[in-house]
Amino acid sequence: MIQVATYSGGVSSSVLARGPSTGTGPAPLRLGALTVDPAVVLAPMAGITNPAFRTLCREFGAGLYVCEMITTRALVERNEKTLQMVRATPDEEDAFSVQLYGVDPATVGRAVEMLVDEGVAGTRPAHIDLNFGCPVPKVTRKGGGSALPWRRVLFRRIVRAAVAAAGDVPVTVKTRIGIDADHVTYLDAGRIAQDEGAAAVTLHGRTADQLYSGTADWTPIARLVEAVDIPVLGNGDVWEADDALRLVAETGCAGVVIGRGCLGRPWLFGDLAAAFAGETRRALPTLREVAAVMLRHAELLSEDQGELHGCTDFRKHVAWYLKGFSVGSDVRRSLAMVSSLDELAELLAGIPDQPYPVAVLGGPRGRTGPPRPVALPEGWLADRDDPRPPAGAELMVSGG
């Protein structure tokens, strides 16, 4: 059955109901005074979830849209790039969300104080998330990200410092199943986060050594739901709105966190809002409609960064938007080298319209690759109760 939906972003898209959905979504997510309805959160992604992309996603559907990961040391040092990254958009004044990375409780606490008490971001955040899920080597080799929950005393002190400094701003925790199959941490991490006053915990259904390979295991998400009383959000392999419904139904999680699934598909948030409301419509935009979204994305980046930098930043999104469409290699190369909005508009206008390539639905997007051993500080696994931050572990550059 063909339907027509008009999204808040102004893009009128043909939509196709691809069979009935398996139920409705969870109740609105409550994080302190903040209500997230529907219970959908955009995961921080380095170089992706900047103000322009957050605005674009919000134009398609409601939810909570988190900025790129910010390192606490860089924020405390008032690194210029970091201060630029931790900016709210005009429509985020009541729901500005920041994710922080850090390995030292004192530094994390100071960074939270700066955000909450000093207004260093220009807008007081409505929500702060702590990153204990990043699996990339530059983070884990310093004991951060998904390596840190193994040191449970240090983990506890970091969460405690953040919650104490945040006051009435809700603090949440994002983590993975563990370092690898022999070093599982998610149950301890969830219970500690709850004990220390975290408002919710997000669990990605992979270990750190899996990176983004294979298939996410949602069973630990269900186990964590049973183990704690605070809301648990599920993350991992939500490529379509019906995946989100299935994740909620199978695990009992209180909401979903969307990462790679929205790359080149910001209208996924409209699909999620519809699915959580019990509606069966799903967006299948034509190439002409996708081109309109691409141009809107580039315009937002240009407004924020200047036209040349904005168009340069947009280049990495081209392949995601055009995935599955029949577009010649010469045109793709030209789009991936675009330097102005007029050039982008002209190239897009020259591509014949075509229906959405349904064959790509449900498939992975973004980073993939084989599993590999996790880079860790020397002796990191020896003592789970060692409270000391690893020497020289703080990163000065945000993102990751």
Catalytic positions: 134
CA 360 to chain centre: 21
Rounded Cα distance between 367 and 377, Å, is 24
Rounded Cα distance between 335 and 315, Å, is 7
Radius of gyration of the chain (CA): 21
Rounded Cα distance between 2 and 5, Å, is 10
Angle in degrees, CA 378, 181, 400, rounded to 5: 60
Q: Contact, 300 vs 56, CB < 8 A?
A: yes
Using alpha carbons, list the distances in angstroms from residue 257 to 92, 175, 253, 387: 18, 12, 11, 30
Residue in this structure with the two tokens 């419904």, named with its chain if needed: 245
DSSP 186: H
Angle in degrees, CA 362, 301, 42, rounded to 5: 40
| Residue 129 burial by Cβ neighbours in a 10 Å radius (0-12, 13-18, 19+) | buried
DSSP 388: P
Angle in degrees, CA 51, 55, 59, rounded to 5: 175
| Residue 2 burial by Cβ neighbours in a 10 Å radius (0-12, 13-18, 19+) | exposed
Rounded Cα distance between 308 and 217, Å, is 41
Rounded Cα distance between 344 and 338, Å, is 6
Rounded Cα distance between 366 and 46, Å, is 12
